[in-house]
Chain A
Amino acid sequence: GESVGLHLPTLSVQEGDNSIINCAYSNSASDYFIWYKQESGKGPQFIIDIRSNMDKRQGQRVTVLLNKTVKHLSLQIAATQPGDSAVYFCAENVRGGRQGGKLIFGQGTELSVKP
């Protein structure tokens, strides 16, 4: 069925290290992707997005890489901080048959940052 899957459900890193979270998506027609961060008791928070005409996009301490050939996304977080501890979701935007769109989310990766 429809799915956007994450390779690793949990990731533990040392404070100050770089983190890499991976994601595989299933719909080759998808042309827009978003990474979200969800902290306990809160809704998903937008981190960064990328369109399919790009293979890399950088934000503040974050970089998203898109490999359309193998349908793979990654989120890189530089100098990971304790405040980065959360569950991270990738999502692909799938267009409806005639109109509308929807986000299909991966299962999420829990990032734990050790001080």
Chain B
Amino acid sequence: KAGVTQTPRYLIKTRGQQVTLSCSPISGHRSVSWYQQTPGQGLQFLFEYFSETQRNKGNFPGRFSGRQFSNSRSEMNVSTLELGDSALYLCASSLEPADSNQPQHFGDGTRLSIL
């Protein structure tokens, strides 16, 4: 069974641009969560989607947004990029919603660098 797939693996952008990251969950998984990982802040929750609905959102500005499609694939978008947005963005999927206490399985992330 294929794992969580994230594309692209690496991305370089400049300040002020916007970016879209993609995540394909494990087949059959309907919940997708996004996390940001930085050396200073560690792993921080961005948002969770289940059945195309955002169920939970972390403490990030409105420049960070996401969506989920009917096939459970998800995208996240960051607008007006700032230097501090440089990070590893991780996607995790699970069979059921994140509050159902089932393991979340992660992809290898998209490394976003802002110049």
Contact = CB atoms under 8 A, between A and B. Distances in A.
A104 B56 CA distance: 13
A95 B99 CA distance: 5
Interface of A: 31-32, 34, 36, 41-46, 49, 51, 89, 91, 93, 95-96, 99-108
Contacts of B114: none
Given A41-B108, A100-B48, A102-B98, A34 B103 contact: yes
A35 to B, nearest CB: 10
Interface in B78-103: 90, 92, 97-101, 103
23 contacts: A43-B6, A43-B106, A44-B43, A45-B106, A46-B104, A49-B103, A89-B43, A91-B43, A95-B99, A96-B55, A96-B99, A99-B56, A100-B48, A100-B50, A100-B98, A101-B56, A101-B99, A102-B33, A102-B98, A103-B98, A104-B45, A107-B42, A108-B42
Interface residues of B, number: 27
A37 B71 CA distance: 28
Nearest to A33: B101
B33 A103 contact: yes
Interface of B: 4, 6, 33, 35, 42-45, 48, 50, 55-56, 58, 90, 92, 97-101, 103-109
A101 B103 contact: no
Contacts, number: 71
Contacts of B6: 43
Contacts of B4: 43
Nearest to A102: B45
B33 to A, nearest CB: 7
